[in-house]
Amino acid sequence: MNFKETDARARNGRAEALVDLYERAAYVRVQPPILQPADAFLELSGEELRRRLFLTTDANGRELCLRPDLTIPTCRLHLENNAPVPASYCYFGRVFRDRGGGAGEYLQAGIESLGREDQEAADAECLTLALDSARHFGVEKSVIRMGDVGLFSAFVAALDLSPAWRRRLLKDFNRTGTLAADLSSLKLAASAPSPHAGMLAALEGSDPAAARAFVADLLSIAGISNVGGRTVGEIAERFLEQASLGSAGGLGTGNCTALERYLSIEGDPDAALAELRALAKDSKLDLSAALERLEQRIGFMAAGGVDLSTVRFSTAFGRALDYYTGMVFELYDPRDYVKWPLVAGGRYDKLMTLLGSKTAIPAVGFAAWINELEQAGAA
């Protein structure tokens, strides 16, 4: 036996003990297949992921990949088994990602909690278990970075914006998590005048249904049938939407100020909550439901023993995967020796539906990066 094997056994032993911890907390261990249909990952995570996937094809031409995480495989397993909810799962195994160099395979352990309706309590429990995982490797007092994707959705919904601007803000927030930096360019990005400007202006303010029928008629007169997967109605609707987008002159100053103020809020959760309430009051926005949930979650976190002074809540903190819907968090090495997140998790209420579940299943979970935890714990 060489040193490497000894290392591997010791490592697995420690991670196995972590899974024992999850099992004692009533999470059922699952071992989803390593080989997964690539479609699920590409459809859910987008093209940016493709170059990081290890892809292969079976004899029937079906595209397969080595699992790049265990969240989607675990959720798929749950659906395949027609398992009842609530259900709690835990896992430990390899994931495969091409990070441009390096081994390409990494050890992950984690939990997924599916179907709990007491969402704020489930969020807090998930975070507590994530902190326990770090402690298991000797990392005390992890730095907790936290955001809330659902809060941003509620905020954008409360603003007086055209549907196109809402879509755009949500997409940019999800994609980069650094919308604040893009905001100045967004302000300037009022598009150049359309060649149809005159016609759009004439149609603006007219009866929407009649205008839509008019544009649909024009398209059919032109003999256009190939619309590439979009209906004539959709095209007409968005064509008319441009009228409102153009005349509104971008975002509008009031919205922009509110958005900038929202995205600059950062601090411990209680302070951030107070600032958010002040913002809602000053800008006359109804965020009460979303803020209520945030407050409850903070309460459960404190009750679960989370030291709130170690939490850096930031409204601009998001996740580049659009199935996340609520709390998102990452744990970092308090000594800043390891730069990557040690544990990453959050609430993803959209995922189960996107994977084909007939009913909506709320879900929350995290993944712990074993190598990073070891390094942070050993430092």
Residues that bind another protein (CB under 8 A): 42-43, 46-48, 50-51, 164, 167-168, 171-172, 174-175, 189, 191-192, 194-196, 215, 219, 222, 224-230, 232, 234-235, 238-239, 241-242, 353-354
Q: In the complex, what is the shortest distance from the CB of residue 101 to another protein, in angstroms, rounded to a whole number? A: 13
Q: Name which of 143, 40, 48, 100 is nearest 355 in CA terms.
A: 40
Min CB(228)–another protein separation in Å: 4
Instruction: Give the angle subtended at the CA of 73 by the CAs of 72 and 74, to the nearest 5°.
Output: 90
d(CA 65, CA 43): 13
The whole-angstrom separation of Cα 347 and Cα 135 is 22
Q: Closest CB to another protein among 20 and 172?
A: 172
Least distance to another protein from the beta carbon of 97, Å?
Answer: 17
Judged by CB, which is closer to another protein: 167, or 335? 167
Q: How far is the CB of 211 from another protein (least distance, A)?
A: 13
Beta carbons of 43 and 76 less than 8 angstroms apart: no
162 CB-side CA count, 13 A:
18
In angstroms, give the least distance from the CB of 376 to another protein.
31
DSSP H helices, the chain, are 3-24, 38-45, 47-50, 71-80, 119-136, 149-158, 163-176, 179-188, 197-203, 208-221, 232-248, 253-263, 269-282, 288-303, 351-354, 370-378
* CA-only gyration radius of the chain, Å: 24
In the complex, minimum distance from the CB of residue 198 to another protein, in angstroms, rounded to a whole number = 14
Shortest reach from residue 296's CB to another protein, in Å: 28
- Of 68 and 93, the one with the shorter C-beta distance to another protein is 68
Q: Report the residue number, 48 or 117, with the smaller CB distance to another protein.
A: 48
Q: Which residues lie below 8 Å from residue 36, measured CB to CB, with a gap of 6+?
A: 64, 65, 66, 67, 72, 73, 76
Q: How far is the CB of 42 from another protein (least distance, A)?
A: 6
Of the pair 224, 379, the CB lying nearest another protein is at 224
CA–CA dist 189, 168 (Å, integer):
12
Q: Which is nearer to another protein, 357 or 375 (CB)?
A: 357
Length of the chain in terms of residues written: 379
CB closer to another protein out of 44 and 294 = 44
Residue 99: which H helix or E strand, with range?
none
277 phi/psi in degrees, rounded to 5: -65, -40
DSSP SS3 for 168: helix
Amino acid (one-letter) located at 369: W
Nearer to another protein, 182 or 270 (CB): 182
Closest to another protein by CB, 42 vs 302, is: 42
Q: Which helix (H) or strand (E) holds 330?
A: strand 327-332
What is the nearest approach in angstroms of another protein to the Cβ of residue 167? 5
